[in-house]
Amino acid sequence: MHIIAKDGTRLHVREDGVLNGPPLVFANSLGTDLRLWDEIVPHFPNHRVIRYDKRGHGQSDVPDPPYAMGMLITDVETILDDLGVTGATFVGLSIGGMIAQGLAVKRPDLIARLVLSNTAARIGTDDLWSKRIETAMHEGMEPLADGVMERWFGRDFRAGPELATWRERLVNTPVGGYAGCCAAIRGTDLYTPTSGLRLPTLAIAGSEDGATPPDLVRETADLIPGSRFALIRRVGHLPCVEAPEEYARILSDFL
């Protein structure tokens, strides 16, 4: 289905599981779409599982960049309000985790439990994101692909045949959507607002994550009193792809 954002952008949304089950929301990373969670969803048949494509990704519309983090937060706020969802468990990975932090601050009624996967209150530097935006806009996604694959996946996964699928998905990400979300990350520092959160929180990290290393993830988790931290070995930035069984087990234990 598509839900219309406040600025008229169509956002692609998918629901699985049972309509009256506990709501479980997934927000994916930069350069991926809602298929990021394909191996995780079957583990939660009794939940109302909600996934969506960020603006500029997947089957959602691609407005002209740049985007702001507040815009991405408002998008998912609109989705959950349209679906009548409150008190959800929100699982956000990478930029999805930044969106999760911002939404938990803005609309605490929407999120009862928070899962911050391979993310941080601030990711990267202004210069890093500006260079990626410039490369994407002037040369396309292909020159970025190999470096992203090294940051995304552990050595074992990179040696296997599935790597090609994820590389292709990244390269096929609309340039405007990728650059727009890079700009949103570049302009975001959530250390202060996140430190004010008081809700059950789980942080998940991959030992070989080259984008948000475990220490960075733990530092963000430590901003929220009582948070839990889980490290998955021999995986990178997308442990839900590399180790879906372990990822689902960790999430189930938290729930």
- Could you give the CA distance from residue 46 to residue 24 in angstroms, rounded to a whole number? 10
State residue 242's pLDDT score.
98
CATH class of 2-254: alpha beta
User: Helix (H, G, I), strand (E, B), or coil: what is residue 179?
Assistant: helix
Q: What average pLDDT score do residues 7-25 get?
A: 98
Phi/psi of residue 147, nearest 5 degrees: -65, -40
CA 206 to mean position of chain CA atoms: 14
Per-chain mean pLDDT for the chain: 98
Tokens of 12: 């692609």
Q: Which residues contact 217 (CB under 8 A, 6 or more apart)?
A: 116, 118, 119, 120, 203, 204, 205, 209, 229
- Is 102 in contact with 92 (CB distance < 8 Å)? no
| 119: number of Cβ within 10 Å | 30
Over range 135-155, report the average pLDDT: 97
Per the DSSP assignment, residues forming a β-bridge with 25 are 50, 90
pTM over 0.95: yes
Please state the rounded mean pLDDT for residues 30-59. 98
User: What pLDDT, on a 0 to 100 scale, did the predictor assign at position 235?
Assistant: 98
How far the first Cα of the chain sits from its last, in Å, is 27
What would the pLDDT profile of 80-125 be if each residue is shown by its tens digit? 999 999 999 999 999 999 999 999 999 999 999 999 999 999 999 9
**Average pLDDT score over residue span 175-193:** 98
Q: Would you list the domain boundaries of the chain?
A: 2-254
State the pLDDT at residue 16. Answer: 98
Identify any residues that bridge with 220 across adjacent strands, giving them in sequence order. none
Q: What is the mean pLDDT of residues 157-185?
A: 98
Name every residue whose Cβ is closer than 8 Å to that of residue 81 and which is 6 or more positions away in sequence.
Answer: none
Instruction: Name the pLDDT band for 25 (thresholds 50, 70, 90).
Output: very high
**Average pLDDT of span 210-229:** 98
Is the sign of the CA dihedral 238, 244, 250, 255 positive or negative? positive
- By the 10 Å C-beta count (0-12 exposed, 13-18 middle, 19+ buried), 243 is classed as buried
The pairing of strands 10-17 and 111-117 is: unpaired
Specify the pLDDT at position 209. 98
